[in-house]
Amino acid sequence: MVVESLAILLLLLIIEVVFLRAKRREHAVQIAPLLILPAGHFLVNLVPDLIRFQLTATVKTSVDVLCLAIAVSLLGIFSVRFTRMRTRAAYLLTCGGFTVILGLIFIYNNYVV
């Protein structure tokens, strides 16, 4: 899933750049936590290959869970900026749901492959 996590990371980085070029800094900051999980998964799978050191599935899963917890915590912190409860709920459901589902896929893949 290294290639897939890199593709997701690059797509999210493109979205960040588009928001920043459109002078929508607040939007770019609010979707920044989405970058944490794919970046962490990419690094935990790439770095051991570069230094020729194998990590167990438990260590990889621990890093994924840590990145997931950090990302969801930041989403919760950033959701306070929304004044309407409906907007806050939509933000947390879409971004949080994306992050949790992606995290579950990464964790499943650590043990199956």
Residue-range definition of the domain harbouring residue 68 = 2-112
Domain count for the chain: 1
Distances (CA, A) of 95 to 90, 102, 111: 8, 11, 25
Residue-wise pLDDT for 58-105, tens only, equals 999 999 999 999 999 999 999 999 999 999 999 999 999 999 999 999
Rounded to 10°, the helix 57-78/97-112 angle is: 180
Question: Average pLDDT in the 6-30 region?
Answer: 95
| pTM exceeds 0.85, yes or no | yes
Mean of the pLDDT values across residues 39-53? 90
- The single-letter code of the amino acid at 12 is L
Which of 19, 22, 41, 44 minimizes the C-alpha distance to 30?
19
Distance CA 101, CA 15 (A): 20
Q: How confident is the model at residue 49 (pLDDT cuts 50, 70, 90)?
A: confident
pLDDT in tens, 68-77: 999 999 999 9
Comparing CA positions, the residue from 91, 27, 96, 103 lying closest to residue 64 is 103
Q: Is it the case that residue 113 has pLDDT exceeding 80? A: no
